[in-house]
Amino acid sequence: MGRTILHSDVNCFYASVEHLHHPELEGKPIAVGGDPESRHGIILTADYIAKKHGVKTGMALWQAKQVCPELTFIAPRMDLYLRFSRMAHEIYGDYTDLQEPYGIDESWLDVSASASVKGDGEKIAKEISNRMKKELGITVSIGISYNKIFAKLGSDYKKPDAITTMYENEFQTKAWDLPVSDLLYVGRSTHQKLARFGIKSIGDLARTDEKMLNLQLGKMGSILWAFANGYDDSPVKIENTHAPIKSVGNSTTTPRDLLTDEDVKIVLYMLSESVASRLRKNGFRCRVVEISVRDNELYSFTRQHKIMNATNITGEIAEEAYRIFKENYTWHKPIRSIGVRGADLVTDDYWEQIDLFCSMEKREKLMKMDGAMDELRRRFGYFCVQRGIMYQDKILSTLDAESTHTVHPHGYFG
């Protein structure tokens, strides 16, 4: 029996969620991204009204304002978007436990085993689409196919609020006429290389000799050739086996240059508090801690290290970040900017073998302390409780590291 794979993509996800929380902006173009006050940063997403005016993802805020003067900028609220992502997955969970996130707004769903109870792929897709509108107030575009690649191509085929099939007996008529750049993992550089060989459509790619592609593009040539011909048989992974994002991080340009190890430790603890809090809030733990450092002459570097046990404990992340810093910086220049990132995320129910010499009793106490701080700050604000280290410098301790963070999508080959 063949597989039935859906790919569900929330339309203009961040902007759609913001429209729900800003009814006064109904019918007006909005974009999410950057710092609206200073107009620094880039567009993360724009609604369809803004897109019709030429606003694009990745565009600088000032450029977006030029092409769409009436555009309203909204600062991103990742925790809010992650909450909607979790609610979307709860809906998906009523149809299958085989759901694999691709970022926080897209997911593959293997509904092959649900047909006898829930109906065929098209019926399930229609139910999911209707429930997303009714229960969450957002729309999705869904592709239906026998593999993941063409399911995703189907969700991109028509937007917004659409359902498109890419079955085995029809993908050649629907997919092969599409630009080759529409295929997953054909980026700008690959697109240019393919164009030099006259490969403009997905069909052109499918009909090209695999050995030639492999010679020009390496292993990726064979992968793309298989994608174009519908040979992708990769499974949809069981839900909760990995996080829908790759990392959670914070960085800051400090109020004054950092001059000593103690200065750095204060800021690293503040950043680690925010990273750990967001990990806990969204049910994640990290297995890699990374720091980024930039001095006052703009020289910068990043370093990372895989830790023994996955964690969302503030102290563990901060101490690891400080250890990495001490091993990699010799104070040639004062530091202007520093960042902390938790990467290689897993979900809270991820199972792992604990180190024999690890004190679980101590870790549980640290978890409870972090949880108590989260609750106090939720009720009374970020500065209602602070660690003792923060009182060593009044200027540095005024930073509110909760104000910014970044998330990164999960890769197809991850």
Q: Catalytic positions, please?
A: 106
Please give the angle made by the CA atoms of 53, 55 and 61, to the nearest 5 degrees: 130
Q: How far apart are CA 48 and CA 31, in angstroms?
A: 10
Q: Kindly list the distances between the CA atom of residue 336 and the CA atoms of 125, 339, 378, 388, 396, in Å, as whole numbers in the listed order.
A: 50, 11, 30, 23, 12
Q: Scan for tokens 């604000």, then name that residue.
A: 381
Give SS3 for 305. Answer: strand
6 contacts 46 by C-beta, under 8 angstroms: no
Q: Scan for tokens 């052109």, then name that residue.
A: 204
Please name every residue paired with 166 in a beta bridge, in sequence order, or none if there are none: 145
Q: Kindly list the distances between the CA atom of residue 342 and the CA atoms of 252, 275, 279, in Å, as whole numbers in the listed order.
A: 15, 7, 8
Q: How far apart are CA 320 and CA 291, in angstroms?
A: 9
Q: Which residues, in sequence order, are CB contacts of 171 under 8 Å at separation 6+?
A: 145, 150, 230
Name the nearest CA neighbour of 237 among 108, 88, 410. 108
Q: Which residues, in sequence order, are CB contacts of 256 under 8 Å at separation 6+?
A: 395, 396
284 contacts 248 by C-beta, under 8 angstroms: yes
